[in-house]
Amino acid sequence: MAEFKEISPNASAVDKVENWFHNRFPFAFDFYRDHMSAYYAPKNFNFWYFFGSLSLLVLVIQIVTGIFLVMHYKPDAGMAFASVEYIMRDVPWGWLVRYMHSTGASAFFVVVYLHMYRGLIYGSYRKPRELVWVFGCAIFLLLMGEAFFGYLLPWGQMSYWGAQVIVNLFAAIPFIGPDLALLIRGDYVVSDATLNRFFSFHVIAIPLVLLGLVAAHILALHDVGSNNPDGVEIKGPKAPKDENGKPLDGIPFHPYYTVHDIFGVAVFLMVFSAIIFFAPEMGGYFLEFNNFIPADPLKTPPHIAPVWYFTPYYSMLRATTDVMIDVLCVIAALGALLAVWKVRMPGMAKVAVVVFALVAIGLLKVFDAKFWGVVVMGASTMILFALPWLDRSPAKSIRYRPTWHKWMYGVFVVNFIVLGYLGIQPPSDLGTIVAQAGTLYYFGFFLLMPWWSQLGTFKPVPERITYAAH
C-alpha cells in the first residue's frame, strides 16, 4: 500500500481535494504522469499527427451518439425502419444525433485512412513498433466489421440488399461456405434473425473488443515511444539526453501536444459540423438515397454497392474474373521461369519453385473466380499486417528515400481512390480492366516491397531530428 502524501493545513481547498484523491487513487495520477505530462514525444510532429487523436475523438462521438440511438431504435425487421424515422422526425434532436452517427462513420474511416497513410510514409510500423502497427491493423479490421454490422440496422433497401450480397460472398468458400453464410444470417435469407445478430455485434461485442485494442494500441505506442517524420529514435540508448535522462529531441505530450491536437480538433469539428448541417448525405456517399426506402425483399435495386469506405476492396472482388485468374496463372508461370533462369540457387530449390508454381496454378484453376474474389478481398486487408516485415528500406521515413519512392506511394494512393470510385459505379468492361490493373498494382506494391524498397540512392538520415515550425 502506498504511503499517504501529507499536505500543509494552509493549502488551498483545491490542493486538499487533489491530495485526498491522490492518496486514495494514486494509480490515476501515475497513469496521467506516465502517459501525458511525463511522456516525451518528438518535437517535430506535423499535421499528419493530428489523425491519431482525431480517431479517438470520433470513436467517442460514435459511442455517445450510439447510446442515444439505441434508446429509441428497435432491432425488429417489422419496426426497425420506422424506429429510425421516429428518431429523425419525433425524438427531440434525434435527427442531429442520427446524422452525427452516420457522418461519424464516414469520418472515422477518413481519419483512420489518413492515420494509416502517415504510418506508411514515415515508417511507423518499423522496429520497434511492429506490435503497435499490428494492433492498429486489428482495430481497422474491427472497424470494418462494426461498420458492416451497423450498415444493416436502418433496414433500408441498400442496407438489406448490401448485407444480402456481402453475406452471400461467404457462401463461395469451398466446403464450409453455405453453412457459414447460414450461421451469419441466422436464416436462409436476410431476416429478423440477421438483424438481431448484427445489432448484438454492432452494439456490444465489437465495441468491447475495439476499446480493448485501442487501449493496447496506445499503451504499446507509449512503451516504445512515438515515431516522427524523420524516423529518428529519441529514446534509444544512443539518443541524446539531458542530465535528468530526458530526450533532448522530445517535449512533454502535455501541454504541448494537447494544445497542438486541440487545434486539429477545432478544424475537424468545423468540417464535421458543416457536413452534418448542410450535406449529411454527401451526395449519396455517406447515406445512400435508396436507404431512405424501406427494405423490400421482393424488389432488388438496379445497382447494389457498399458504402464508399468498402468500395476499394469490393472493386478488387469484382475485378477477380476468369480472365484475371488466367492472367495470374501466366504471371505465376513466368515468375517461376524467370527465377529458375536468372536467380542462382541450388537445383532442389529450382525444383521447389517450379512445383510451387504448378500447385498455385492448379489451385487457381480448381476453384472458381468468385471464391478467389473473396480471397483477394480478404488478402487486401490482411496483407497490411505483414508490412513491418516486407519493408527492407534502409531509411524509415519517406523524407530520406529516393524520389521515385514518393511516386510509388503517390500512385498507390491514386490507385486506391480509383478502385474506390470503380467500386461505387455499375460494372463495365473498361472499369473491370482498370480495376484488374489496379488490383495487380495494389498487391504488387506490397509483395514486391522487399525488393523495390531497397533500390535507389538514399539520403543520409540525420542523427537528431530536424524541426520546422508549421
The full DSSP string for 237-251 is: TTS-B-TTS-BTTEE
For residues 394 and 259, membership in a common domain is answered with no
279 within some domain: yes
Tell me, what's the pLDDT at 55? 96
Q: Which of 417, 422, 392 is nearest to 405 (CA)?
A: 392
Domain assignment present for 236: yes
The per-residue DSSP string of 387-433 comes to HHHH---S-SSGGGS-HHHHHHHHHHHHHHHHHHHHHHSPP-HHHHH
Give percent of the chain with pLDDT exceeding 90: 62
Enumerate residues 6+ apart whose C-beta is below 8 A from 49: 118, 226, 257, 260
Give the pLDDT of residue 228.
92
Judge whether 26 lies within some domain. Answer: no
Q: Using CA atoms, how far apart are residues 341 and 431, in angstroms rounded to an integer? A: 36
Please indicate, yes or no, if residue 50 is contained in any of the structural domains. yes
The CATH number of whichever domain residue 368 belongs to comes to 1.20.810.10
Those residues with Cβ within 8 angstroms of residue 387's Cβ, 6 or more apart along the chain or in another chain: 120, 125, 133, 446, 449
Q: At 252, give phi and psi (nearest 5°).
A: -60, 140
Q: Which of 22-26, 286-290, 327-331, 355-359 has the lowest mean pLDDT?
A: 22-26
Does the pLDDT at position 3 exceed 70?
no
429: containing domain: 308-452
> d(Cα 288, Cα 306) in Å, to the nearest integer?
9
DSSP state of 205: I
- Binding site membership: which residues? 101, 115, 202, 217, 222
* CA–CA separation, 61 and 265 (whole Å): 12
Q: In this structure, which long-range contacts are made by residues 246-250, counting pairs with CB atoms below 8 Å and at least 24 apart in sequence? A: 246/40, 247/40, 248/464, 249/42, 249/43, 249/44, 249/464, 249/465, 250/40, 250/41, 250/42, 250/43
Confidence (pLDDT) at 470: 55
Most confident of 11-20, 116-125, 223-232: 116-125
Q: How confident is the model at residue 239 (pLDDT cuts 50, 70, 90)?
A: confident
Helices 429-447 and 369-382 cross at an angle (nearest 10°) of: 40
For residue 338 the three cell numbers come to 524467370
Give the position of cell 487513487: 25
pLDDT given at position 343: 66
Question: Which pLDDT does position 52 carry in this prediction?
Answer: 93
* pLDDT for position 468: 66
Same domain? 270 vs 365:
no
Per-residue pLDDT averaged across 50-63, rounded? 96
pTM of the model: 0.92
Quick one: DSSP state of residue 39?
A: -
- pLDDT recorded at residue 2: 55
36 close to 103: Cβ distance less than 8 angstroms: no
Q: Does position 49 have pLDDT exceeding 80, yes or no?
A: yes
Which residue carries 494492433 as its cell? 135
**Grid coordinates standing for 143?**
472497424
Residues annotated within a binding site for heme b: 101, 115, 202, 217
Answer yes or no: is 445 within a domain: yes
- Residues 249 and 328 grouped into a single domain: no
Rounded to 5 degrees, what are φ and ψ at 312?
-60, -40
pLDDT for residue 408: 95
Mark the binding-site residues for a ubiquinone, compressed into ranges.
222
Is the predicted pLDDT of residue 96 greater than 70, yes or no?
yes
Distance, in Å, from the CA atom of 184 to the CA atom of 197, rounded to the nearest integer, reads 8
Rounded CA separation 331/338 (Å)? 10
Tell me: do 384 and 420 sit in the same domain.
yes
pLDDT band at 244; cut points 50, 70, 90: confident
**At residue 207, does pLDDT exceed 60?**
yes
Whole-number pLDDT of residue 467: 72
Residues 112 and 223 in one domain: yes
Domain tally, the chain = 2
Mean pLDDT for 399-403 is 94
Instruction: Single out the residue of 464, 468, 466, 453 nearest to residue 401, CA to CA.
Output: 453
Same-domain check for residues 325 and 392: yes
What's the one-letter identity of residue 248?
A: L
* pLDDT tens-digit map of 300-344: 888 888 899 999 999 999 999 998 998 888 888 888 887 777 666
Supply the mean pLDDT for the chain.
90
User: Are 260 and 326 within one domain?
Assistant: no
Exposed / middle / buried, residue 280 (Cβ in 10 Å: 0-12, 13-18, 19+): middle
Q: Domain check: are 281 and 320 in the same one?
A: no
Q: What percent of the chain has pLDDT above 70?
A: 98
Residues 6+ apart with CB under 8 A from 361: 329, 332, 333
